[in-house]
Amino acid sequence: MSGKDWEVKKFILPFSTLSANRKEPFTHDLEVAAVFSLAELDRAKGGGFFSKRPEEKMVFITEVGYPLWVFPWSETALIFDGLNRSKYTLPYAVVPDAKDFIENLKRGSKKQETHVAFLSDHINYFQTQVTENKVEINGLITDPEFLSEFDCYRQEATAIEVQPTNSGLISPTIDKSSISSILQQLMRLHSSFKKDV
């Protein structure tokens, strides 16, 4: 699966979603007022007793979309941070190769003596110290709280053909081909796990 093999569909999530039991309409002006209030709460007001800090001035507030890549994977979806600020280290055990063991077992099973000798020589073959490998997956979001919230929230997404003019979108730093190579690496790893089991 290369990046050329799949089509990118663009969706936009609403800036905010309404509560199911809300009675009054949540207008765009009300949404802007709520965002302004939150920004005002976080703004440094200046002051300080020993060291005077200047007051932060709010110059503008704008609606900007954050890039996320969502890919179906088996029964779930993998979500990648478009700005590549997340990363996940996937640990996995490296088990002894069963293929070599089986081939040697077949060769040694022609005579009973060689078969018994092989078995006694390899009695602890699968008891060896299991080594652990790790693969780092750049951009993959694994925070359970975010994934749970996003799973509910993505039902509100709307398909778009063209970027809306009333909001901006931060350009992603991780592109389709990067994610394609990550997905290929994960598929190879998944296949090797299935083969080893």
pLDDT in tens, 122-166: 777 667 667 788 989 999 999 999 998 888 888 888 888 887 777
Same-domain check for residues 81 and 158 = yes
pLDDT band (50, 70, 90) for residue 25: confident
Same-domain check for residues 116 and 89 = no
Give dist(CA 162, CA 160) in Å, integer: 6
Mean of per-residue pLDDT scores for the chain: 80
The answer to whether residue 2 scores a pLDDT higher than 50 is no
Q: How far is CA 9 from CA 12, 69, 105, 162, 176, in A?
A: 10, 10, 51, 11, 12
The answer to whether residue 49 scores a pLDDT higher than 70 is no
- Apex CA 163: angle with CA 139 and CA 175, to 5°? 25
Same-domain check for residues 122 and 142 = no
Boundaries of domain holding 115: 99-129
Same-domain check for residues 109 and 176 = no
- List 193's β-bridge partners, or say none: none
Q: Residue 108 in contact with residue 115, Cβ under 8 Å?
A: yes
Same-domain check for residues 85 and 161 = yes
Q: How many domains does the chain have?
A: 2
Domain boundary among 129, 148, 178: 129
Same-domain check for residues 70 and 25 = yes
- Gyration radius from the chain CA atoms: 27
Same-domain check for residues 124 and 136 = no
pLDDT at 58: 77
Same-domain check for residues 71 and 111 = no
Same-domain check for residues 27 and 121 = no
The model carries a pTM of: 0.69
Q: What is the mean pLDDT of residues 109-131?
A: 73
